[in-house]
């Protein structure tokens, strides 16, 4: 009996881990899509002499890619 409970708890833990991994991937993708919208401000900012938008987009892009990588690692294989 205790073996069945342990398996169920492990399965529930795996589901929560996959769910949090998918949430991280979604947030990372949203950040990357927001970068595409902010890309217009980069060119305008550089033309006016400001580099704030460029660094903002670079930082947000790195953060988005990092979240996608962490989420993929936490989610694990979808075929298991």
- Is residue 22 over pLDDT 80? yes
Count CB-CB contacts under 10 A for residue 5.
9
42 in Cβ contact with 57 (< 8 Å)? yes
What was the pLDDT predicted at 17? 83
Maximal C-alpha separation, the chain = 70
Q: Residue 26: how many CA atoms within 13 Å on its side-chain side? A: 6
What was the pLDDT predicted at 6? 54
What was the pLDDT predicted at 31? 96
What was the pLDDT predicted at 75? 87
Per-residue pLDDT band for 37 (boundaries 50, 70, 90) equals very high
Per-residue pLDDT band for 45 (boundaries 50, 70, 90) equals very high
Count CB-CB contacts under 10 A for residue 37.
9
């Amino acid at each position: 009996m205790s073996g069945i409970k342990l398996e169920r708890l492990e399965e529930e833990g795996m589901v929560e881990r996959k769910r949090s991994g998918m949430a991280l991937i979604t947030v990372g993708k949203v950040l990357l899509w927001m970068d595409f919208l902010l890309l217009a401000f980069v060119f305008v900012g550089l033309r006016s002499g400001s580099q704030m938008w460029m660094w903002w987009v670079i930082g947000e892009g790195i953060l988005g890619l990092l979240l996608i990588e962490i989420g993929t690692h936490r989610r694990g294989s979808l075929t298991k």
